[in-house]
Structure 1
Amino acid sequence: MTKITGIIIPCYNEYYRLEKDKFCQFLTNNNNYHFCFVNDGSADNTLELLQQLRQFDPKRISVIDLEQNQGKASAVQAGANYLKELDHIDNIGFLDADLSTSLEEMDNLVEKLNANPNLTMVFGSRKAEEANNIERSFLRNLLSNFVGFFIRHILQLPIKDTQCGAKVFKKSIIENVYSQRFISRWLFDIEIFLRLKKHIGLKDLLNCISEEPLDSWIEVEGSKITLKDSFLIPINLLAIWISYLKISTTSKKITENLKLKLNYNMVK
């Protein structure tokens, strides 16, 4: 039985960057996909473009309109919560609208997920040793390495690239990942791993996720992350670290209290 994968494409002012023909051609060649475009309060004509795109295949293209700009995290969350209610969807992923990671690369990630019943999440990596043809500016690469250092400290996981905008999940895990709002507008990928780590546990998590090297990733001009956003990254990382550290500490205390109570009841 063919498994259907819903792909969320968050869009903010993408009118001049969204390559409509590539999405249409991919759907023509692949009948196991459903695209969910989320307009994140765009100030240009992105919504009109998405509505036109939907006419190509209304059954396999959905458009969600967030009237106010809320950031990529909220856009992806809105798409995930919409797709999980569709009975025919088996997997749910997200992909950047500029197709810096191509649809064909995304298809490779989905095939990897479908081929292994033990996996719940597969994500692309631009930093794996086997990754090829990765094109990005020197400054962006420098910033990525700087941020990556702190991310690895927060996660305590052997993941090389948390921020690649190509990830796909089994539908069964969506509720645990996307039910609550994210702290950060842009660094929500880190929160995804932290939530999975809390839900599944470190040992089991490493056995059910797979970081796959990309054959190609090309930086596209017009990044939505401003200079101001870049300066706020360390503050965002600190907020995420403190918040999830508190959650972990609270959960640990509750567990210890329950154990003490159970021991007391057994003695009594």
Structure 2
Amino acid sequence: MPKLSVIIPCYFNEDNIPVTSRELVANEVNFPPEVTFEYVFVNDGSGDDTLGALQRAQQAYPGKVRIVDLAANVGSYNAIVAGMAHATGDCMAIITADMQDPPELMVQMYEYWKKGFKLVIGNRKDREEKGLSEVFAKTFHWLMKHLALRNIPEGGFDFVFFDQQVAKEVLKLHERNSNVFYLMVWLGFAYVNIPYVRRKREIGKSRWTLSKKIKLLIDSLLAFSFVPIRAISVVGLGLGLIALLYGLYIIVLKFVSPSEPAGWTALMVVLLFVSAFQMVALGIIGEYVWRGLDAARSRPLYVVRQVYE
């Protein structure tokens, strides 16, 4: 009897939990009768009564809900890793607590898993939410696909169904400041992607702030791409060539017209441009160095306060 563990990271989702748990349990009737279920809710240091709501859900659905209560907020990706470490299913799925991803899609994902696929991705072909969030999401995934992982599907994704083996491989990596979904693709297992339209959030307010989105973009690019470092080398060589040509121009001009030009403006433009590039280059290199230091410390990705079973 295959067991499915559904991992749900929670952060300020007090009002979502009753709806989310009810819809997930109701979706069980769409699966073959031999499938058993486990719902691993990870409370990512929420400041509201998310933990209380999860405990009430656990009482409403005895034997199905497991709560992993983290000591502090560590981010949704680290919370997902915590959920994977505590899940016991033969296959697993990750879904958001706000029900923007359709749980009924997991049935089709399960069928692909039964056929032997280790990873099934629900990729967003469109979303009901428009505006800056949509622009940022499309830009982010375009950059990742063209600068880092070319084999990821179009449209981005954070709704996945995967085998226990994939979870074990991700946990063995001990990756820091990374993107757990891209790690699954990076492992190299053949996958199937199922397009869907992401729903608009109906309950509560998203805590996915602009600063968190920018950090995710930086983390993902630096974790999976050498383009930033390679760009520094290319631009540096280009600036060196320009400086060489300009130096030759000055030398020739000195012999042809000793009194012209004074060159102050041109010199300052070159100096400011090169200085600005050096600061940007140092910043990029610093990001890589900091991540190396962070990995060398070997601090835990999360601390579990308590597990409620």
TM-score bucket of the superposed structures, by smaller chain: 0.7 to 0.9
| CA gap 1:148/1:60 in 2 versus in 1, 3 angstroms | same
Which residue is equivalent to 1:237? Answer: 220
Which residue is equivalent to 1:192? Answer: 184
Please give the per-residue CA displacement for 1:90-119, whole angstroms capped at 9, x wherever unaligned: 1012110111112112222222222x12x1
Which residue is equivalent to 2:100? Answer: 100
Which residue is equivalent to 1:8? Answer: 7
Which residue is equivalent to 1:171? Answer: 164
Query: Equivalents in 2 of 1:234, 1:61: separation in Å?
Result: 32
Which residue is equivalent to 1:259? Answer: none
Confirm whether residue 209 of structure 1 aligns to residue 207 of structure 2: no
Q: CA deviation at 1:240?
A: 1.1
Alignment partner for residue 211 of structure 2, among 222, 228, 242?
228
| CA gap 1:169/1:158 in 2 versus in 1, 3 angstroms | closer
Query: Is this contact kept in 2: 1:91–1:168, CA < 8 A?
Result: yes
Identity value in percent: 22
Which residue is equivalent to 2:200? Answer: 219
User: In the alignment, residue 145 of structure 1 is paired with which amino acid?
Assistant: K
Larger Rg: 2
Please give the per-residue CA displacement for 1:107-150, whole angstroms capped at 9, x wherever unaligned: 22222222x12x100010112xxx7xx31213222111211121
Which residue is equivalent to 1:156? Answer: 150
Query: Equivalents in 1 of 2:22, 2:92: separation in Å?
Result: 22
Structure 1: segments with no counterpart, 5+ residues:
198-204, 247-268
Query: Is this contact kept in 2: 1:121–1:168, CA < 8 A?
Result: yes
| CA gap 1:244/1:69 in 2 versus in 1, 3 angstroms | farther
Q: CA deviation at 1:28?
A: 6.8
Query: Equivalents in 2 of 1:28, 1:224: separation in Å?
Result: 32
Name the SS for the 1:126 alignment partner: strand
Q: CA deviation at 1:5?
A: 0.8
| CA gap 1:180/1:224 in 2 versus in 1, 3 angstroms | farther
Query: Is this contact kept in 2: 1:100–1:218, CA < 8 A?
Result: yes
Query: Equivalents in 1 of 2:67, 2:135: separation in Å?
Result: 35
Query: Is this contact kept in 2: 1:73–1:182, CA < 8 A?
Result: no
| CA gap 1:27/1:50 in 2 versus in 1, 3 angstroms | farther
Q: CA deviation at 1:176?
A: 0.7
How many residue pairs align between the two structures? Answer: 221
Q: How does 1:1-268 map to 2 (within 5 A)?
A: 2-18=1-17, 19=19, 20-27=21-28, 32-83=36-87, 86=88, 89-114=89-114, 116-117=115-116, 119-127=117-125, 134-152=127-145, 153-162=147-156, 164-184=157-177, 187-194=179-186, 196-197=187-188, 205=189, 208-214=190-196, 216-220=197-201, 222-241=205-224
Query: Equivalents in 2 of 1:33, 1:243: separation in Å?
Result: 40
| CA gap 1:10/1:158 in 2 versus in 1, 3 angstroms | closer
Please give the per-residue CA displacement for 1:4-47, whole angstroms capped at 9, x wherever unaligned: 21110000110023314323433577663211111111100000
Name the SS for the 1:9 alignment partner: strand
Query: Equivalents in 2 of 1:171, 1:90: separation in Å?
Result: 5
Query: Equivalents in 1 of 2:226, 2:208: separation in Å?
Result: 23
| CA gap 1:244/1:59 in 2 versus in 1, 3 angstroms | farther
Query: Equivalents in 2 of 1:6, 1:125: separation in Å?
Result: 20
Q: CA deviation at 1:223?
A: 2.1
Runs of 4+ in 1 over 6 A off after TM superposition: 243-246
Structure 2: segments with no counterpart, 5+ residues:
230-309
User: In the alignment, residue 180 of structure 2 is paired with which amino acid?
Assistant: F
Q: CA deviation at 1:243?
A: 7.9
Please give the per-residue CA displacement for 1:136-172, whole angstroms capped at 9, x wherever unaligned: 213222111211121112012152144x221111112
